[in-house]
Amino acid sequence: MKRPIDRGLILRLVAVLVLGLAILITGESDAARYSYDSTVIPENSIPELDRQTYIFLTEYGKDVKEMSKKYGVDWRLVLAVLRQESAFDPSAVSYMGAQGFMQIMPSTGLHLALTHNIEDLSNPTMNIQLGIIHLRDLMRSFPQANGKNRIELAIAAYNCGLSRVEDAQSIAEFLGDDPNSWPAVKSALPLLSSRYAPLQRHIWRSGRPNSGYFGDYGQTLTYVGNVMHYYTLYQNVLPRSAGQF
User: Does the structural domain 51-237 have CATH classification 1.25.40.10?
Assistant: no
Q: For the residues 162-183, what does the mean pLDDT come to?
A: 98
* CA proximity to 226, closest of 138, 134, 152, 127: 152
pLDDT number for residue 141 = 97
In the structure, what pLDDT confidence band is assigned to residue 4 with cuts at 50, 70 and 90?
low
CA distances from 233 to 53, 139, 183 (A): 12, 21, 21
pLDDT number for residue 33 = 26
Per-residue pLDDT tens digits for 214-236: 999 999 999 999 999 999 999 98
Contacts of 3 (CB under 8 A, 6+ apart): none
Confidence check: pLDDT of 68 > 60: yes
Can you say how many angstroms the Cα of residue 131 is from the centroid of all Cα atoms in its chain?
11
pLDDT number for residue 27 = 35
Q: Quote the DSSP letter at residue 30.
A: G
Which of 40-44, 160-164, 238-242 reaches the highest mean pLDDT? 160-164
CATH 1.10.530.10 domain residues, the chain: 51-237
85 is catalytic: yes
The answer to whether 39 and 244 have CB atoms below 8 angstroms apart is: no
Confidence check: pLDDT of 205 > 70: yes
pLDDT number for residue 96 = 76
pLDDT number for residue 241 = 65
In the structure, what pLDDT confidence band is assigned to residue 41 with cuts at 50, 70 and 90?
very low
What is the C-alpha separation between 76 and 118, in angstroms, rounded? 24
pLDDT number for residue 95 = 76
Among the listed ranges 33-42, 85-94, 101-110, 194-203, which one has the minimum average pLDDT value? 33-42
* CA proximity to 152, closest of 141, 47, 60: 141
In the structure, what pLDDT confidence band is assigned to residue 39 with cuts at 50, 70 and 90?
very low
Candidates 43, 85, 119, 152; catalytic one: 85
What is the C-alpha separation between 33 and 55, in angstroms, rounded? 10
Q: Please give the mean pLDDT across all residues of the chain.
A: 80
* CA proximity to 186, closest of 137, 145, 234: 145
**How many Cβ atoms are within 10 Å of 86's Cβ, its own excluded?**
22
238 vs 107, residue with greater confidence: 238
Per-residue pLDDT tens digits for 78-108: 999 999 999 898 887 877 777 778 888 777 7
Region label for 98, one of left (φ > 0), alpha (ψ between -120 and 50) or beta (otherwise): beta
Q: What is the pTM of this model?
A: 0.76
What is the C-alpha separation between 69 and 245, in angstroms, rounded? 13
pLDDT number for residue 24 = 38
Give the largest CA-CA distance in the chain.
97
In the structure, what pLDDT confidence band is assigned to residue 31 with cuts at 50, 70 and 90?
very low
In the structure, what pLDDT confidence band is assigned to residue 26 with cuts at 50, 70 and 90?
very low
pLDDT number for residue 238 = 87
Q: What b/e readout covers 151-188, taking b as 16+ CB neighbours within 10 angstroms?
A: bbbbbbbbbbbbebbbbbbbbbbbeebebbbbebbbbb
pLDDT number for residue 34 = 26
